[in-house]
Homo-oligomer: A and B are copies of this chain.
Amino acid sequence: MDFNQTLRQNNLRVEKLLENTTNGFAKNDVNDAVKYSLLDGGKRLRPCLVFETAKLFGVDDKNIEKIAVAIEMIHTYSLVHDDLPCMDDDDFRRGKPSCHKKFGEANAVLAGDALLNLACETLLDGEYSQSYFRAIKYIFDCSGICGIIGGQAVDICPDKQKDFETLDFLTENKTAKLIFACTVATAIYCGATTEQQENLAVFAENFGKAFQVADDLLDADIDQNLSYTNLLGVDGAKKQLNEYTQTAIDSIKRFKNADFFVELCKFNLTRNH
């Protein structure tokens, strides 16, 4: 199956899972806000990475589905809270009004809270094992104060340094940590060796950073606070993108049948054309 077919198939799978999760919700604005944000037709890159990582180990079961869905919930909650007026104050998300523009701030705060809580409920539902327990611990380490929230905490500091070290820290935590969750946590559940986990961690870090550089290149015309294009210039950022991409590919090629990941890295390279 080619790259686009795989993407589409994983996409259909996660849409169905997310719809099943939200189907039984009681009718109120917070739940509507959760559905609006969660079922908005995002790329579902993160669940896709979970399914494809599990394939590397020949594993596919309910727990993998739970990990995929829960990480998408965590990703969505972080976007809903990031968009709030007191944070990035974004009125639009993927071409539609952002959650607080559509449902009001109070409902958006609660919808974000509900999504993070729902990720816990989802992960804790049903079967478990020692490796599954360690995998879900890893996910919440990635989303917490040593991960996404830690990155956000530094990003909202008005007096943060505008240097490469700070940008690297922000990208590592705000973007790459959830990619770590997709690949390394899934690998932990699948019984990966320490070496396999490390290869996936190197992939996650470098693909996560390559993804952010590509984003910055797409937005190079927009005045940004702290970005790869601002710090390195467009050519410097392209060079950095190629370096991160090559390291990610070298690392993932240690697995057999990792074509999807290689294609994903190449696809990311073409996003700025």
Contacts and interface: CB of A to CB of B under 8 A. Distances in A.
Interface in A25-59: 25-26, 28-31, 34
A37 to B, nearest CB: 14
A81 interface: yes
A156 B84 CA distance: 18
Contact of A117 (B109, B143, B154): B143
B109 A84 contact: yes
Given A109-B81, A110-B152, A128-B133, A30 B145 contact: yes
A91 interface: no
Interface in A73-126: 77, 81, 84, 86-87, 104-107, 109-110, 112-114, 116-118, 120-121, 124-125
A65 interface: no
A232 interface: no
Given A121-B144, A137-B121, A86 B106 contact: yes
A143 B107 CA distance: 16
A130 interface: yes
Interface of A: 25-26, 28-31, 34, 77, 81, 84, 86-87, 104-107, 109-110, 112-114, 116-118, 120-121, 124-125, 128, 130, 133, 136-137, 140-141, 143-146, 149-150, 152-154, 156-157
21 contacts: A26-B145, A28-B150, A31-B145, A77-B113, A81-B109, A81-B110, A84-B106, A86-B109, A87-B106, A112-B113, A113-B113, A113-B149, A114-B144, A114-B145, A114-B149, A116-B116, A116-B117, A120-B144, A121-B144, A124-B133, A124-B137
